[in-house]
Every structure is written in C-alpha cells, then in structure tokens.
Structure 1
Amino acid sequence: MSSQNASTVPATGTARSDGLLRAALVADVILTGANGIGYLALATVLDSLLGVPLPVQYAVGVFLTVYALWVLTVSRQEDISRGAVTVVIALNAAWAVAGVVTVVLDALTATTVGNGWIVFQALVVGAMGAVQYAGLRRM
C-alpha cells in the first residue's frame, strides 16, 4: 500500500469508494452554509423567535459559513484527505454534544422554540457525522 493510499482516496478508477462520503460532505456544506447565512441574514428576525442573543447568532453564523466553505474545499479535493474528514466528523460530533449541553444547562436562555431548534440541529449534525463516518469507513 502506498503512502498516498493510506491518507487519501484517489478520485479516479472504475468504482469510486468515496461516493457516500462525498455526498455526505456536500450535504454538510449545503445545510451548514444555509444555516450560517440564515443566522447572518435573519438574526434580527430570529432574535425574538429563538431567544438567542444577536452577538451569538452573528458569531455562529460566521463560524458556520466559514466552516461550510472549508468542508466544501475538503469535498472538492480529487483525493479526499482522511485526516481532514476525521476533523469534520469530530467537529460535527462536538457541535452535536455542545448543542444538547447548551440546552440542558440553559446556557443561552433560549425560548422553547429556540431550545427545540438547537436540539434539532444537534440531531441533524450528529446524524450527518455518522453518515460521514460510514462513508469514511468505506474508503
């Protein structure tokens, strides 16, 4: 096994083993990017609905938008880096856990709708990380 095969997956060949992973990464880009842009563009509208302070929404919006762009970069590489994907999966897992902990601790004093949204996001991000992990194992 060459050192290239140990850390990346070639994009060429008759059967691509990274199709599930690429699809999961693209889904992450779309959902995370839309979420980040939504927080930035609609923060003043979401403020009263979610009960999350504007500075938090803006910070989360910037983070999610930048993160989505980075995941897009990872997904577009001819040879997907296992290390980069491992970081994506770890960050998604951390985001999911942090979301649940935030609600349990009432750290943001969000509204009921806001807490529901945070938990929903945690579940979606956790599921996305699980699919990415499955895709990584197929490589």
Structure 2
Amino acid sequence: MTTITTTSDTLLRNAIRVDGVVVAALGVAMVAAADPLSSLSGLPTGVEYAAGVLSIAYGPLAFWLASRPRVRTAGLVIAAINAATTVGMVGLAVAGLAPVTSAPGQMALAIGIYTAVIGGVQYLGVRRAS
C-alpha cells in the first residue's frame, strides 16, 4: 500500500502553482485579445500585449519556484508582490483613477480580489512552512 506524504510546505507549493496557472491563462487571453482589451482599459495595445507576455512567462517560473527544495523565501516574495498588487489595484479604484463603475475599475477590482485571495493563501503557506 502506498502512503501519501504531505510536507509542511505543500500548501505553499500548490498555491504558487495555482497562481502560475491562473496568471499564465490570463496572459494567453490578454495576448489574444490585446486590441479589444486596450479599448476597454484605455491602455495602449502594446502595454496589454506586454503584460500578457509577462503573465505567460510567470507560469513556468512559478512551477519552477514551487519545485525548488526550499520554497519559503520565494513564496514570501510572491505573496508580497500579490499584496502590493492588491493595494495598487484597489488604490486605483478608490482614488477614482479607475472608477468602479467603469470597465477598467472593474478589472482593477477583480485583479485586486484575486491577488488578495491567492496572496493570503500563499502567506498562510509560508507560515505553515516555517
């Protein structure tokens, strides 16, 4: 009989992998729809495309980081980046730079909510891995 072993860093590793998949999938959508997204967001098409490419690149990087023998530091950095992204996106909406009633404001809030949730799970994983 095989025993499934879980280590104290399993939550963190899985949260990083999930983040990589979600962000990379979003990146593929951003690259495929850079022009329509730019008309919604007000950003130049090149910026939408570049953000999509960077998001795609994060996917394999996240899986690589999650596979390292020691994942705690990487997890803490990723959780901090997600926290900063949450503050930035919600700040855009609260400051009125991306009004909540507009498409850019709704995109900013959706990104802020996602990064708050995944960053929180990653931070919990960091704490458990301690």
Calculate the TM-score normalised by the size of structure 2.
0.81
Shift of 1:14: 4.2
In 2, Cα distance between equivalents of 1:23 and 1:30? 11
Number of the residue aligned with 2:120? 130
Return the offset for 1:130.
0.5
After TM superposition, the runs of 4+ consecutive aligned structure 1 residues lying more than 6 A away are 108-111
Does 1:95 find its partner at 2:82?
Answer: no
Match of 1:19 in 2: 10
1:58 Cα deviation after fit: 1.8
Pairwise CA RMSD: 2.4
Q: Does residue 33 of structure 2 align to residue 42 of structure 1?
A: yes
The separation in 2 between residues aligned to 1:51 and 1:128, in whole angstroms, is 27
Structure 2, unaligned runs of 5 or more = none
- Written as runs of structure 1 = structure 2, the 5 A alignment for 1:1-139 is 14-77=5-68, 79-107=69-97, 112-139=102-129
How many equivalent pairs are there? 126
Q: Tell me, which stretches of 5 or more residues in structure 1 are unaligned?
A: 1-12
Superposed displacement of residue 28, structure 1: 0.2
Superposition deviation, residue 119 in structure 1:
0.7
- Percent sequence identity over matched residues? 33
C-alpha separation in 2, matches of 1:115 and 1:46: 13
Which deviates further from its counterpart, 28-37 or 55-64? 55-64
Taking structure 1 as the reference length, what is the TM-score of the superposition? 0.76
CA contact under 8 A between 2:38 and 2:45: conserved in structure 1? Answer: yes
- C-alpha change, 1:60 and 1:109, in structure 2 (3 Å) is farther
